[in-house]
Each structure stands twice: as structure tokens, then as C-alpha cells.
Amino acid sequence: MKTAFLNGFMQEEVYIEQPQGFEVHGKESHVCTLKKALYGLKQAPRAWYSRTDTYLQGLGFTKSEANPNLYFIVIGEEPLILVLYVDDLVITGVERLIEHCKGDLAAEFEMKDIGLMYYFLGLEVWQEEGHFFLGQGKYIVDILGRFHMEDCRPMSTSMITNWKKLHASDFELVDSTLYRQLIGSLMNLVNTRPDICFAVNTMSQFMYELERFIGSLQNTFCGTCRGQWIMVWTTGRGME
């Protein structure tokens, strides 16, 4: 969606100085009342979301209770799902309903259709008849590069098996900021790597008392990221 924040209507009274070059002669001290949001305005995201939410529900969509950015509608036992992320819209469902929905959105907002989704928020998508393939290969490579571990040795398990036997008192403190950044990056990775959920949960328990041996966990764990692990969603069957 183009210039998304400019589509939001202001609910509060906001005044701005007259734009340079558009001053009214003899009224230079006057100000303008802002009717629509502008980029940089702190109310702009809320105004944009409010207008989009009102419009989608006006089309018959129902907002998910679990995720306020997810909307769905069922027409003739055929579901249509829409996900809103700032100015990006992801729509899934039968082709007929998708085209109709895109037409309704284009009638209200200035839109740009970029076709099938291939990459979104670090998630790579490959689509075939009856199958969806999800992966985060590029995101994994970015993580390894960010933490200077491109040459780390691949591991078959996500954690060392004797980590509880290591004594924290024998090691020095590590950079807590760097460690928290690593945990945050790995939390985004579990979307397509459920096999590392337990390891991420375990490592996140040491966010405040970080010792050098935690660094060894980090090294071992990042080694598992070098392998490609792809989730497959089969239509009518679910995840494989």
C-alpha cells in the first residue's frame, strides 16, 4: 500500500505551521489544522490502523482475538484471511475471493500488487500445487554474519548435553548486550525451526547472570544454524 500513513484521519486537534512556500499573505502568523496524518507524526500509525480496521470490518472481515493484525471472512464456506503489517497486506484464500478483495482495497486506497509472496519479514516462501515451503535460510546466514560465526562448525544437536555440569564461577562475564541480541535473533528463528525451541528457552534463562560458559552454549547452538531446515505445509494435511 502506497503512502499508507497519509491515509489516516486525525481524531485529535493537531496544528502545524504553514508550509514553507504556501504561506497566506497577511496571515503568516496563522496555523493550519491537520485533517489527515503525516509521516513523522506520532499519531500517524494509530490513525492509519484505525482507518484500515474500520474499512476492513466494513467489508465484513472479523478481527482475530489472538492477533489484532489478522482478519478473516468466510464466504460460502470458503475462508479468506488477511494479515496487515504496517503498509503491507498479505492475503490468502481462493483466487476468486482474493481478486475481489484486492478490487475492494484498490477502490479505497492506492495499492500495488506484487503478486505471490516469496519473502516477508525474513521468511522465505516457495509455493507449489498443494504445498507451501517455508524457510529462513537468508536470515540464518545474516545471524551467523552478525555474530561473526560464518566459519563455525555445524552440530547435530542444538545444545551440549553436559551444560548443567559446568560451573559459572570458573568463567568471566560476557557481553550481556550481545548475548541478548543473540537470543532475540534466535527467537525469530523458531518460526521455522521448532527443533531449537527448548534450547532457546534454556539460553534465555541466563539473560541477567551471564558467564563465559554461556558463550560456549552460544557457539554450539549457532553451529546448528548452518543446516537448512524447511517446513512444508501441505494443503488439507497441515505441517510436515
**pLDDT, tens digit, for every residue of 215-240?**
445 554 555 555 544 444 444 444 44
CA 158 to chain centre: 24
> What stretch(es) of the chain map to CATH 3.30.310?
4-113
Give pLDDT tens digits for 99-148. Answer: 888 888 888 888 888 888 888 877 888 877 777 788 888 888 888 888 88
- The residues, any chain, with a CB within 8 Å of residue 212's CB and separated by 6 or more, are 171, 172, 173, 174
DSSP state of 161: T
Give pLDDT tens digits for 44-93. Answer: 888 888 888 888 889 899 998 888 889 999 988 889 999 888 878 888 88
Phi, psi of 130, deg, nearest 5: 85, 0
Lookup: cell for 57:
470490518
CATH number assigned to the domain with residue range 4-113, chosen from the 4 options 1.10.520, 1.10.1390, 3.30.310, 1.20.120: 3.30.310
3-state helix, strand, coil in the chain (%, to 5): 35, 20, 40
Give pLDDT tens digits for 176-217. Answer: 787 788 888 888 888 788 888 888 887 777 776 555 445 445
Q: pTM for the complete prediction?
A: 0.64
* Ordered alpha helix ranges (H), the chain: 44-58, 95-108, 137-146, 176-189, 197-203, 212-224
Lookup: cell for 227:
543446516
CA 58 to chain centre: 26
